[in-house]
């Protein structure tokens, strides 16, 4: 279903201008999309100020320009890696979490953030401090749900237990990177700078044992590598397992008459994962949305899962 897909808005307001961003948001909602994902730091590396906030600002402008659309969408945003003047990032201390949520809510123009994420692990702040600060946001009506992005699984469990012990809202979502093919174990992947930013076998086992915890997947299409010959997979993906999986993917996509990327997204949805669509044009969005209408049957899933 299209409601299982998430619209990523990393470059809205920077590389993707206001009008283009509005058009993508309109198309997503018209097609039945519900979740919109952003962050307070998007996208500082693409803006002359060196700070983020542009994506949230554009989404807020779009919400104000479309009265009533707020009831049709849910917004998720993040705190933790916005750069600070003088170097470094903001982190996840209690004051930063509260201030970040307040600023995001103002830019978005919403009363409540539907899902608020801690963006990346902060070694300088005890997780208990972050958990309490995030839980109090829910108590105060600033956020509805909470998630962790780019955190190791052991710390996720520690955070969840601490929140439950304190009687606070606990973590119900993880945001990590995954796709149909995977890099070689231990191989460095160009452009991936989060040590714990991957779905692993431990992640899969954890969510199987905790079905109340969702997994959201960023970069599920590996920058267009499944469909575009001019965008080959990074070298870390070059191994026999990838060769076998790409062959199976090609056979299934050919039989169904759809692009390989559509099958990849549908496969993730069937696995219970919410793919985040990072698109910059209506054509890319329409292609990705086709996955919402593609229900892979057991035969297709078995063929896709067979290569080891």
pLDDT at 308: 65
Q: pLDDT of 228-261, one tens digit each?
A: 989 999 999 999 999 999 999 999 999 999 999 9
pLDDT at 193: 73
Tokens encoding 217: 């997947």
* Domain map (residue ranges) of the chain: 2-305
pLDDT at 130: 98
pLDDT at 307: 84
Tokens encoding 97: 């979490």
pLDDT at 185: 84
pLDDT at 2: 86
Pick from 122, 100, 20, 4: nearest CA to 52: 100
Tokens encoding 43: 């996208």
- C-beta of residue 108 within 8 angstroms of C-beta of residue 63: yes
pLDDT at 188: 82
Instruction: Tell me the CATH number for domain 2-305.
Output: 3.20.20.100
Residue 4 reports pLDDT greater than 90: yes
Q: pLDDT of 161-182, one tens digit each?
A: 999 999 999 999 999 999 999 9
């Amino acid at each position: 279903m299209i409601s299982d897909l998430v619209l990523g808005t990393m470059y809205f307001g920077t590389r993707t201008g206001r009008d283009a961003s509005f058009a993508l948001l309109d198309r997503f909602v018209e097609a039945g999309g519900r979740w919109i994902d952003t962050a307070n730091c998007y996208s500082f590396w693409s803006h002359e100020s060196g700070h983020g906030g542009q994506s949230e600002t554009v989404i807020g402008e779009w919400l104000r320009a479309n009265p009533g659309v707020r009831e049709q969408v849910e917004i998720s945003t993040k705190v933790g890696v916005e750069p600070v003047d003088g170097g470094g990032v903001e982190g996840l201390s209690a004051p930063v979490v509260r201030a970040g949520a307040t600023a995001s809510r103002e830019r978005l123009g919403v009363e409540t953030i539907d899902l608020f994420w801690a963006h990346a692990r902060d070694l300088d702040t005890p997780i208990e401090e972050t958990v309490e600060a995030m839980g109090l946001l829910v108590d105060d009506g600033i956020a509805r749900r909470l998630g962790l992005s780019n955190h190791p699984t052991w710390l996720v469990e520690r955070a969840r237990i601490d929140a439950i012990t304190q009687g606070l809202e606990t973590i119900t979502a993880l945001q990590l990177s995954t796709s149909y093919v995977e890099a070689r174990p231990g191989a460095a992947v160009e452009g991936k700078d989060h040590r714990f930013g991957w779905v692993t076998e431990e992640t899969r086992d954890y969510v199987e044992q905790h079905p109340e915890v969702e997994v959201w997947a960023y970069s599920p299409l590996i920058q267009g590598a499944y469909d575009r010959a001019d965008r080959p997979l990074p070298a870390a993906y070059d191994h026999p397992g990838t060769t076998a999986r790409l062959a199976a993917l090609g056979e299934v996509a050919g039989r169904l008459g759809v692009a390989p990327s559509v099958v990849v997204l549908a496969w993730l949805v069937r696995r219970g994962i919410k793919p985040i669509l990072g698109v910059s044009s209506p054509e890319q969005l329409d292609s990705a949305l086709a996955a919402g209408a593609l229900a892979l049957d057991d035969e297709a899933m078995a063929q896709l899962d067979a290569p080891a």
